[in-house]
Chains A and B, each alone.
Chain A
């Protein structure tokens, strides 16, 4: 389904995840973050970059991976994206929700 953010129209799935990463840009990400109650900072963008990189390399995302990432530790990750960090971060990053149970 389509969703309008500012001037742009993006296609998202039922939960609000972008279905086409090529439609993603920082303005859209900032708006999605706001909807999730998150004000983006440099540290947030660093995580988004990391997550998009993993996705492009087809590496699965997990909380264990975050621990080993060297970009951020788990405590900070939960603090930056409160209430479901990986779900929120992937939504802001414009990639599908991770399917892993861990």
Chain B
């Protein structure tokens, strides 16, 4: 329906900070809503976003993040990261942004493919049972590149 030349978006999510995870999710969902195919490849710390035990406990980065407008030493104090994360989650809820687990369900139901990176899964000694049930599989990066199988495919590293 839309005239965009982008036909398929492939995302590589390598980080587990809330702002990065939501960036990937919003863009992947937004693509589906526009009739564009989308897939996410979770690698390294990005894997936290699809681990059953960890996905609802992601945080924003309060240290080394100048946009937090908070002295780095303060950001490192115990509890500050959790506090900032809770504040951000509240703001997101006001905008009707779903929590991570629900967002993953929405993505999967919308036809967005969710993949775990084989190398990172091995490195963190994870098993399939540690990962969400909606996962489409565990792939090598080569497998993931082969998903870029049509004109108008874009690949984005987050």
A interface list, Cβ under 8 A from B: 36, 60, 62-65, 67, 73-75, 78, 82-88, 100-102
Contacts and interface: CB of A to CB of B under 8 A. Distances in A.
Given A64-B96, A102-B96, A84 B2 contact: yes
A62 B96 contact: yes
B75 interface: no
Given A36-B1, A62-B96, A84 B34 contact: yes
Interface in B87-132: 95-98, 102, 105-106, 109-111
Interface of B: 1-2, 26, 29-30, 32-35, 95-98, 102, 105-106, 109-111
Given A78-B111, A102-B26, A63 B106 contact: yes
B101 to A, nearest CB: 13
A35 B109 CA distance: 26
Contacts of A87: 1-2, 33-35
